[in-house]
Structure 1
Amino acid sequence: MSMLSRYVIINLKNLVESRNISLRELARLSDIEPSIINKLSNNKHERISLRHIERIAEALEIDDIREIISIESH
């Protein structure tokens, strides 16, 4: 019996590229520490704060959280 691993993926790099802004600018717009934005964008996070996802959604004017976060199986 094999266990499927699931990973939460944060899609910040593509989002900021498509909006022609930097991760630093996203940090400023969302009022989130640049180091946290960097960890999220590189998928090096141990935890994900829903408040951070809300702030990112507000900053990027995103209505559907699936544009920011997804779950992948490996």
Structure 2
Amino acid sequence: MEVEVVIKINDILHKEDISLRELSRRADVRHAALSELANGKRKRIEFDHIKRISEAMQITDIREIIDIKTN
């Protein structure tokens, strides 16, 4: 069984009605890094980025940010 870790950046943007650039500003994470995460182009996930997004968006449940899908 293969698993895929999905970072739900687009869900956060939609829920909070903000742009990727605004999330970048609030979380102090490079816009390019967030864009790569949102588009599934980044293979490595920085835990510091997850922490910063969580703090900036007041997210306490990691499942709001990360999802694991099985293929």
- 2:44 is equivalent to residue 47 of structure 1: yes
Provide the C-alpha distance between the structure 1 equivalents of 2:21 and 2:14, rounded to a whole number of angstroms: 12
- Identity between Structure 1 and Structure 2 (%): 41
The higher radius of gyration belongs to 1
User: Which residue among 6, 29, 38 is the counterpart of 2:35?
Assistant: 38
Instruction: Describe the SS at the equivalent of 2:56.
Output: helix
Provide the C-alpha distance between the structure 1 equivalents of 2:49 and 2:12, rounded to a whole number of angstroms: 15
Q: 4+ runs of 1 displaced by more than 4 Å?
A: none
Instruction: Describe the SS at the equivalent of 1:14.
Output: helix
TM-score (norm 1): 0.92
User: Which residue among 7, 13, 20 is the counterpart of 2:4?
Assistant: 7
User: Which residue among 56, 59, 63 is the counterpart of 1:59?
Assistant: 56
Instruction: Identify unmatched segments of 5+ residues in structure 2.
Output: none
Report how far residue 19 of structure 1 moved. Answer: 0.5
Aligned length: 71
Provide the C-alpha distance between the structure 2 equivalents of 1:67 and 1:24, rounded to a whole number of angstroms: 19
Cα root mean square deviation, aligned: 0.7
